[in-house]
Amino acid sequence: MKHPPYHLRPNKAVDRFMLIEALRRLGRIEDLSHYTYYGFGGPYLEEFRLLYEFCPEVGMVSIEENEETYKRQKFHRPCGTVQLLHMDFQSFLAQYDFHDKKSILWLDYTGLKCAAFDDFKCLLSKVAANSLIKVTLRADPRDYFDKHNEFRIEFGEVMPNPSADPPRAPEVFAKLLQEMLQIAAQQALPSVIGRCFQPISSFVYADGAQMFTLTGVVSLTDEQHGIRSLFSGWPFANLRWGKPKRIDVPFLSTKERLHLQKHLPCRRDSGRRLVRKLGYIVDEDKRTSAAKMKQYADFHRYFPYFVKAIP
């Protein structure tokens, strides 16, 4: 099975580090050794490598349907504690009972299908309190420019306005997907059952196509305020279903990054300040360059290094 080089895409890499940051904060109130991470690791198991490096106490399970990808996973397994399952996710959901243990799940889809919302709702009804769920969906409105009716038919059950056309603007389309996940969460966890899905972050970024990702914690309703307080000081938090934050880091050389490092962190007018420190623009014009450099100021601690090596 052919896969894009997800492990070499900086925006995706930042999104992976956002998961690590979320877990670090969750670890302030929960023992992470009581958690198991379940994810779609892909051929390189990149987030599993990060979890082993930063949160080695977390159990890890990769779920993969494709046989050839599964073989590549066995080759790239970063440590012996990663369990590899060769099965489709729907079969996994049907077989596994999460109620007796806390879970971390990343539903990392490359497309946008109604089944993703069904999986999300099923998980919400199964996982233990204080479990963390992350969902990533393709969020490219161009997929539906001439398919408005198809979009309404497929996703009407979770649309805030089932008769509306999907928006054409990328940022607005990503916000719509977030609203649809919010509706799905409310359907799966009605207020009468005493549990809720508390969002903690959401992002939109380019990864071949535009992608949207949402992370939240399944919380007891009377403990929701404590979860919000836990993440309230995090600069990337989105605790009340606000607009997703864009990840759009620039491509910089190692020499440029080392030069900028001594000027970081900077929070006031960071984009323009870093452009001045470089002495030239890194994009089409000064405005877009400043926007890119602000992204670097915001996410530089999570920006990956890609280096050429001779084996």
What tens digit of pLDDT does each residue of 125-182 get?
Answer: 999 999 999 999 999 999 999 999 999 999 999 999 999 999 999 999 999 999 999 9
2 pLDDT band, cuts 50/70/90, is very low
8 pLDDT band, cuts 50/70/90, is low
Residue-wise burial string across 215-239, b where 16 or more C-beta atoms lie within 10 A, e elsewhere: bbbbbeeebbeebbebbeebebbbb
For residue 309, pLDDT beyond 80: no
Do 28 and 230 contact (CB within 8 A), yes or no? Answer: yes
Range(s) for CATH 3.40.50.150 in the chain? 6-247
Neighbouring C-alpha atoms within 13 Å toward the C-beta of 247: 27
Query: Positive or negative CA dihedral for 286, 290, 296, 299?
Result: negative
208 pLDDT band, cuts 50/70/90, is confident
52 CB contacts (<8 Å, ≥6 apart)?
60, 78, 79, 81, 82
305 pLDDT band, cuts 50/70/90, is confident
Question: Average pLDDT, stretch 193-198?
Answer: 96
What end-to-end distance do the CA atoms of the chain give, in Å?
25
4 pLDDT band, cuts 50/70/90, is very low
Dihedral, CA of residue 199, residue 231, residue 106 and residue 204, to nearest 10:
70
For residue 3, pLDDT beyond 60: no
298 CB contacts (<8 Å, ≥6 apart)?
235, 270
Cα gap 250→241, rounded to integer Å: 27
pLDDT digits (tens, 9 = 90+) for 73-94: 999 999 999 999 999 999 999 9
pLDDT digits (tens, 9 = 90+) for 23-52: 999 999 999 999 999 999 999 999 999 999
**What strands lie across the sheet with 245-247, from one edge to the other?**
82-86, 59-64, 35-39, 102-108, 131-138, 209-220, 195-207, 245-247
For residue 66, pLDDT beyond 80: yes
pLDDT digits (tens, 9 = 90+) for 237-287: 999 999 999 999 998 999 999 999 999 998 789 999 999 999 999 999 999
- Is the domain spanning 6-247 CATH 3.40.50.150? The answer is yes
